[in-house]
Amino acid sequence: MVKRNLHKIYMGLIFVFLYAPILVLVTYSFNDSTSRGNWGGFTLKWYIDLFNDRDIKTALYYTVIVAVLAATIATFIGTISAIGLYNFNKTPKSIMVNINYLPVVNPDIVTGLSLMILYLSTNMRLGFLSMLLSHITFDIPFVILAVMPKLKSLNKHLTEAALDLGATPLYALRKVVIPEIMPGIITGFLIAFTLSIDDFVISFFTTGSGVTNLSIVIYSMARRGVKPTINALSTLMLTAVLILLFIINKRSALVDGQKNNGGNY
């Protein structure tokens, strides 16, 4: 009995440590007082301020545009790469898959810095395009990682069956393989989109004058002192990412559920 209570207390402590800072942040975003020490009553004025701030609105625009474009392009390239990789022979396949892991574990700051050096050395102007290219670059491995398992669980004979019935390889890809791995593709897209929305380090290194995303705006605002609008903005970003994560989890649960329900005979 005592032991079980200890378990609960321990769990509770972990959650407090994990979520207390976020809770504080969310709470203060509704605080009608500029000082952090006291509670001045509930207000939405920081949120309203937010939407009147031109810098933040442009940053929001760039964040969304970059996330949508980067996730879309990365999903396209990543899916095709995964299909190609899947059809490699064993040894080259495992080499390529491991190379693909590298950017995933590589520290963001190294990725950001090396991309910046690359752009500068090729005399590319830092700005929207360089930031978009960077986002596509770090999104692709995650899409490949999301799509590969779906390909592995695909019945190998499905493509052959399509070819056998007269489909060209491209038609078989479009009508059989892609629909079969669609759950993985969508998951890959959502992960890429989420990563792109909340990226700070790589964007910071690879963007140029006039083009900023929300993370960079928050960072530069915070350097000038924490204003409650930052809390509001952070809360909004947190909510957006949480919703996306929720969708990703719900989707994978749904897909797995379908798989378990099917095939009873």
Partner 1 sequence: MGNKIIELKNISKDYDVRVLNKINLYVNENEFLTLLGPSGCGKTTTLRILGGFEFPTEGDLFFEGKNINNVPPHKRQINTVFQKYALFPHLNIYENIAFGLRIKKTSDAIIKEEVKKMLKLVNLEGFESRNIDSLSGGQQQRIAIARALINKPKVLLLDEPLGALDLKLRKEMQLELKHMQREVGITFVYVTHDQEEALTMSDTVVVMNHGEIQQIGTPVDIYNEPENAFVADFIGESNIIDGVMNEDYLVTFLGRTFKCVDYGFNKNESIHVVLRPEDIVMVPEKEGYLKGTVTSTIFKGVHYEMIVNVGALDILVQSTYQSPVGDRVGLKFTPEDIHIMSKEA
Contact footprint for partner 1 (CB under 8 A): 155, 157-158, 160-169, 171, 175-176, 179-180, 182, 261-265
Whether the Cβ atoms of residue 216 and residue 95 lie closer than 8 Å to each other: no
Q: How far is the CB of 160 from partner 1 (least distance, A)?
A: 6
Q: How far is the CB of 203 from partner 1 (least distance, A)?
A: 37
Q: How far is the CB of 163 from partner 1 (least distance, A)?
A: 4
Token pair of 108 as six digits:
């963001």
Q: How far is the CB of 189 from partner 1 (least distance, A)?
A: 18
Kindly tell me which of 174 and 250 has the beta carbon lying closer to partner 1.
174
Kindly tell me which of 42 and 265 has the beta carbon lying closer to partner 1.
265
Q: How far apart are CA 63 and CA 189, in angstroms?
A: 16
Whether the Cβ atoms of residue 217 and residue 233 lie closer than 8 Å to each other: yes
Closest CA relative to residue 71, chosen from 163, 182, 179, 187: 187
Kindly tell me which of 157 and 223 has the beta carbon lying closer to partner 1.
157
Q: How far is the CB of 249 from partner 1 (least distance, A)?
A: 22
Residue by residue, DSSP assigns 13-46 as HHHHHHHHHHHHHHHHTTBS-SSSSS---B--HH
Kindly tell me which of 162 and 190 has the beta carbon lying closer to partner 1.
162
Output the CA torsion 220→224→228→233 (10° steps).
0
Kindly tell me which of 14 and 165 has the beta carbon lying closer to partner 1.
165
